[in-house]
Chains A and B, each alone.
Chain A
Amino acid sequence: DSGVTQTPKHLITATGQRVTLRCSPRSGDLSVYWYQQSLDQGLQFLIQYYNGEERAKGNILERFSAQQFPDLHSELNLSSLELGDSALYFCASSPQGGGSYEQYFGPGTRLTVT
């Protein structure tokens, strides 16, 4: 158990819908990262938040957005869903600073768009 929690574990929804994925980082970790794992694109970085502020953006679609709240949990919002958005979405957290750069991953949310 990495200490990172993600809900829900599974999500099945229809095209055109909107969903929210939730992540709670390890206690004390200030950075949250979102990654997408799909069969055709592999593991891709989407976005990073650090202590409530956006720090880096990867291959995140405009239909996707994220935020990090004062209690450090994060949400990834996916809208106007398409079949190709079906994937495993991981959240990871890291403490940032102190020479520690390891990222610890949550169990993931499996999204199926039908």
Chain B
Amino acid sequence: AQTVTQSQPEMSVQEAETVTLSCTYDTSENNYYLFWYKQPPSRQMILVIRQEAYKQQNATENRFSVNFQKAAKSFSLKISDSQLGDTAMYFCAFMKHQTGANNLFFGTGTRLTVIP
């Protein structure tokens, strides 16, 4: 079974600063995908970034980047130039690479507060 662990229940960061959210996972699979989702107070789940396990290059989306360490089974999210709108719950998620069934396994989330 796949498990996803987010060991930081809450974090805070000053506006314009950089923050890193941690995620580790456990799997025996070799091919898989990893995702970070953001859930703001509106409760909408918003895809932030994704990483394919077969790619060595870390994914980047504007101010969001990941540090993917496959051997260590670690997948951290770095948010640069933090903005007030980044205040949200952040969920790390794992998906097996397989045809057909592609459900997500989620971590317990990290609540991030951006302080003005």
Contact = CB atoms under 8 A, between A and B. Distances in A.
B20 interface: no
A103 B105 CA distance: 12
Interface residues of B, number: 22
Interface string B19-53: 00000000000000101010000111111001000
Interface residues of A, number: 26
Interface string B39-83: 000111111001000000000000000000000000000000000
Contacts of A101: 33, 50, 95, 97, 102
Interface stretch (A15-23, A66-74, A88-96): A88-96
Contact of A42 (B33, B95, B101, B109): B109
28 contacts: A2-B44, A2-B46, A33-B103, A33-B104, A42-B109, A43-B104, A44-B106, A45-B103, A45-B104, A45-B105, A55-B100, A55-B101, A56-B103, A58-B103, A88-B43, A92-B45, A96-B100, A96-B102, A101-B33, A101-B50, A101-B97, A102-B35, A103-B47, A103-B104, A105-B44, A105-B45, A107-B43, A107-B44
Interface of A: 2, 31, 33, 35, 42-45, 48, 50, 55-56, 58, 88, 90, 92, 94, 96, 101-105, 107-108, 110
